[in-house]
Amino acid sequence: MTKRHLAGYHMTLFRANAATARLYSIAIDPGYRGHGLAALLLSDAERQSALRGRRSLRLEVREDNESAIRLYERLGFRRIGARSGYYADGATALRYEKRLAPRTRLRAAAG
């Protein structure tokens, strides 16, 4: 029998009648980092959001998580604010948003 291992996941939340989805959590097992899995999971979060008719995807990230910030910005997320004391240890969260193209939403809904 083959042993299976969870390499990563994303949890995206969808509120009824909301135009924006929220990437609540994303994690990659350290042994799988550096292989593009985070970008793949973010792409899936965008696709799932578009399939549900959302116009944008938002997230929060610790201000000291430089690698995640670089990834989000490279993938088209833009900083829209900050929340001090957001995390249990008092760290600040940076808020990011990515607009989902209308063409993407239509293609996803049709496909």
Give, in order, the Cα–Cα distances in Å from 23 to each of 20, 43, 84. Answer: 10, 11, 19
Q: Is residue 82 part of a domain?
A: yes
Domain count, the chain: 1
Do the Cβ atoms of 61 and 92 come closer than 8 Å?
no
Q: Of the residues 32, 72, 73, 97, which is catalytic?
A: 72
Judged on CB neighbours under 10 Å (0-12, 13-18, 19+), 81 is exposed
Q: Of the residues 9, 24, 46, 60, which is catalytic?
A: 60
Q: What is the CATH number of the domain that holds 95?
A: 3.40.630.30
Residue 75: predicted pLDDT: 96
* 98: containing domain: 8-110
Do the Cβ atoms of 98 and 47 come closer than 8 Å?
no
Instruction: Dig out the tokens for 104 from the structure.
Output: 């993407």
**Element housing 67 (H / E):** helix 66-74
Residue 83: predicted pLDDT: 97
Q: Structure pTM?
A: 0.85
Q: Is residue 40 part of a domain?
A: yes
Residue 46 annotated among the catalytic residues of the structure: no
Kindly report, residue by residue over 31-61, the tens digit of the pLDDT: 999 999 999 999 999 999 999 999 999 999 9
Residue 60 annotated among the catalytic residues of the structure: yes
Residue 104: predicted pLDDT: 45
Q: What is the pLDDT along the chain (111 residues), one digit of tens a residue?
A: 677 889 999 999 999 999 999 999 999 999 999 999 999 999 999 999 999 999 999 999 999 999 999 999 999 999 999 999 999 999 999 999 999 976 544 455 555
